[in-house]
Chains A and B, each alone.
Chain A
C-alpha cells in the first residue's frame, strides 16, 4: 500500500515538473522569441488573411502555378500521411503514369524528376527539387505569357541547398515560389 501512495506522490511530482513546468517554459520562450514559427509559420496576404503555412504544401492545379509533389492525403493538413505503397504495388506505377501525363509527358531523354511523381511521408512536403521546378518552367512561362528565362531565373534565385555543404541537391518552396511569381511575373490582365 505504501508503494501506491509514494508512487502517486512521485507521479504528481514528475507531472508537475516534466509536464507543467517543462511545457510552460518551452511555450513561454517560443512565444516570446519565435512567435511566427511557434504558431505554425503562417503566411498572410496583403489583406491579412491566412493563405497557408510556408511549411505545409497546398494544392496548385492551375497551369500558371508551379505544382507541388503529389499527396496521398490530398494536402489535408489536419490528417497527414503517406501512401505507404510498397515498390511492388501496381498503384504506384499507375499513379506515376497519370502524373507524367498531367505534367505534359516525359521521355527517356527528358525524364521527369522523381519528386514530382512520388508522395512524401506526410503528404505535405512544401518543396520540390530545383529540377522539378525547371521541368515545369515552360508551362508556367507560357501560361503567364512571360519569357521562360524570367521564370527559370526566379526559380534559380529561390532554390537553396537545405543542408548547405551536407546536401547535394537544391530545393525550392512551392508556395513561396508561386507568391513570388504573382508579385514579379503576374500574368498580364486579360483585356484583349
Chain B
C-alpha cells in the first residue's frame, strides 16, 4: 500500500499542480497584448531588440546563445584552478572532460563523467554548471513556446532572447527559490565553507564535503537537468536528507514537463487537445511505474542462496530513509522526463527494472525534457496524424495544417536520428575495446551499461549505469558529440516542420477533419509511440536486460 500512496502523492499531486503552473507559464511565456508589459519591456531592452523572428532567425539566435553558454562554461571549467570560490583547492580538469561537461550541461543532459565533490570548485558548480541548468532549461521552454506560436497560426515565432529571459526569470527562478527554501528547511546544506574535518568515534579522520547544495539541487531537479552536486546525486544524504526532501525533489522532476503540455495547449488554443496528449503521456508513465516497482520488489538474485531476509526487495544502491518506492519510482520519473538525476543506483537494479528507465529514454516523450519533451511528442503527432489520414483516406491535417510528405520526412528523420545515435554508438563501443574495456560487469549486463550510456546521451538524460568506466577520452568525446546532435536535431527539424506548415494556407477544420481531442486520437498517438519505440529498440533490449534476466538463476 505504501507504493500506491506515494505514487498518488507525487504523480497525482504534481499533475494537479501542473494545471495552474501551465496557465502561469502561458502568461509568462506568451502574454496576451497588454499583459506582463513591464517584464517584456525589460527583456526587450536587455535583448537589444523586440523584433519578431521567423523560424530561421529564431533558430539562429537560439544557437548563437547556446554557443555563448557552452563557451562561457567551458572557460570557467578550464580555468577553475586559478579562479576564486575554491576552498577545497580543486585542480585542473582533463580537456576532454571539460568538453564533455560543457556539452552535457549546455544540452540540458547533465551526464557527469566526474564526481562533483572531488573535481569541481564552487565557482564551477555555481557560475558554470548551475547557470546552464537555468538557461538550458529556459532554451527548451522558449523553443516550445515559439513552436506553439507557429502552430497557433501567428505570423512569427517570437523573439528568442526575450523568451529565454522570460523562461529563466519568470518561470524557473521563482520556482527554484520556493524549492530551494523547502530543501533548506528539510536539512540540505547551503554554505560556501569548504569540507569539514571530523574525528569519528572510532578515531578515524573523515572529510565531509559540503557546499551550496540546496540552490544547485533545486534547479537540477526543476529544469530536467539532473546533474548532482555530489557524485552519487540524490542518493547522497546531504543532497537528499529525508523522505520529505525526496518528495519535493521527485515532484520537481515532473512538474515543469507536465506544465509544458498545458502551456502548449493554451498557446495553440486547444486545452482539450493538450488533455489528450497529457493522458497518453500519463498512461506511459503509469505502465513504466507499475513495471519498475513490481520488478524491483523482487529480492536480488545475488542473495538467492544466502540467509538474507527478502522482505525489503533489492536494497543494493538504495537509501533507507527515502522509502522502498523511491528507487524504481525515481528511475522512471527521471528517464521519462530526460532529467537524469537518480535516487538509487540504476546499475544495481534487477535487470527488468533497468529496462524501464531505458524504455523511457528511447521514447523520450513521456512528458520529456523541459519544453523539448512536448516538442518530441509533436514529432510523434505529425507521424500519427499522417498515418491516420492515410488509413482513413483523408488529407492529413493537424489543427488545420496540411501534413504532407515533406513534414513527415523531417519528423521521421528526427525520430530516426535518435535511434541511430543510440544504436550506432552502442554497436561501435560494444564491438571494440573502446567500450569493452570499460564495462564493470561481465556478459549481458556489460552490454546494458554501454546501451544505457548512449541512450542517456542521445535522450539528453544524464543518468547512467555508473559501473561503466566512462571517464575515458573516447567516452567523453563520443557522448559529447551524441549529446549535441541529440539536443539540436530535435529542435531544428521540428522548427523546419512548423516553418513549412506556416508557409501554407491554413484550412478551416470541418466535420471531415481528423479530431485531435478524442480517445481515437489518443490511441493512435500512443500506438505510434509504441511501434516506433518497440520496433527500433526491441533487439537491443533483447541483447541487454532481457538476456540478463533470463540468464539469472
Contacts and interface: CB of A to CB of B under 8 A. Distances in A.
Contacts of B131: 14-15, 18-19
Contacts of A78: 117-118, 195, 207-209
Contacts of A164: 243
A111 B191 contact: no
Interface residues of A, number: 104
Considering residues A19, A39, A165, which has the most beta carbons from chain B within 10 angstroms of its beta carbon? A19
Interface stretch (B196-204, B509-517, B525-533): B196-204
Nearest to B303: A96
B206 A84 contact: no
A6 B43 CA distance: 11
Contacts of A110: 307
Contacts of A183: none
B204 A85 contact: no
Considering residues B134, B317, B322, B442, which has the most beta carbons from chain A within 10 angstroms of its beta carbon? B317
A97 interface: yes
A2 B61 CA distance: 10
B126 A77 contact: no
A111 B309 contact: yes
Contacts of A33: 184-185
Interface of B: 2, 5-6, 9, 46-49, 60-61, 64-65, 68-69, 72, 115, 117-118, 126-127, 130-131, 134-135, 138, 161, 164-165, 168-169, 172-173, 176-177, 180-181, 184-185, 187-193, 195-202, 204, 206-210, 212, 214-215, 219, 230-233, 235-238, 241-244, 299-303, 305-324, 342-345, 347-348, 350-351, 440-445, 465-467, 548, 551-552
Considering residues A42, A56, A58, A90, which has the most beta carbons from chain B within 10 angstroms of its beta carbon? A56
A55 B241 contact: yes
Interface stretch (A123-131, A140-148, A150-158): A123-131
Among all A-B residue pairs, the 3 with the closest Cβ atoms: A121-B235, A84-B467, A30-B190
19 contacts: A9-B46, A17-B173, A18-B168, A25-B177, A34-B185, A49-B199, A52-B201, A59-B200, A78-B209, A80-B231, A82-B316, A85-B440, A87-B552, A89-B302, A89-B445, A115-B312, A121-B342, A122-B231, A124-B237
A128 B320 contact: yes
A38 B190 CA distance: 5
Nearest to B242: A162
B320 A115 contact: yes
Contacts of B210: 39-40
A180 B24 CA distance: 50
Contacts of B306: 93, 96-97, 100, 106, 117
A135 to B, nearest CB: 9
B235 A120 contact: yes
Contacts of B204: 58-59
A151 B60 CA distance: 68
Considering residues B165, B219, B235, which has the most beta carbons from chain A within 10 angstroms of its beta carbon? B235
B441 A88 contact: yes
Interface in A93-115: 93, 96-97, 100, 106-108, 110-115
A27 B232 contact: no
A39 B165 contact: no
B215 A106 contact: no
Given A10-B47, A80-B117, 18 more contacts: A5-B48, A9-B48, A11-B65, A11-B72, A23-B212, A29-B184, A38-B189, A40-B208, A52-B200, A53-B196, A57-B237, A77-B207, A83-B316, A120-B235, A122-B230, A125-B237, A163-B243, A169-B312
A34 B69 contact: no
A131 B315 CA distance: 14
Considering residues B164, B187, B465, B466, which has the most beta carbons from chain A within 10 angstroms of its beta carbon? B187
Contacts of B301: 87-88
Nearest to A113: B309
B108 to A, nearest CB: 15
Considering residues B318, B443, B444, which has the most beta carbons from chain A within 10 angstroms of its beta carbon? B318
A85 B316 contact: yes
B237 A56 contact: yes
A81 B468 CA distance: 13
Nearest to A2: B48
Contacts of B176: 18, 22
Given A77-B207, A77-B209, A3 B61 contact: yes
A18 B135 CA distance: 9
A100 B299 CA distance: 17
Contacts of B5: 165-166
A106 B195 CA distance: 39
A104 to B, nearest CB: 12
B308 A171 contact: no
Considering residues B173, B184, B201, which has the most beta carbons from chain A within 10 angstroms of its beta carbon? B201
Interface in A39-86: 39-42, 49-53, 55-62, 65, 69, 75-86
Considering residues A13, A90, A131, which has the most beta carbons from chain B within 10 angstroms of its beta carbon? A13
Contacts of A55: 187, 237-238, 241
A39 B312 CA distance: 33
Contacts of A124: 236-237
Given A37-B189, A121-B232, A178-B201, A107 B299 contact: no
Nearest to B204: A59
Interface in A161-189: 162-169, 171, 175, 178-179, 182
A114 B212 CA distance: 34
A39 B153 CA distance: 52
A37 B188 contact: yes
B238 A119 contact: no
Given A3-B64, A162-B321, A53 B208 contact: yes
Contact of A50 (B9, B198, B235): B198
B241 A93 contact: no
A26 B441 contact: no
Contact of A39 (B181, B193, B198, B321): B193
Contacts of B161: 6-7, 10
B455 to A, nearest CB: 17
Contact of B465 (A37, A84, A96): A84
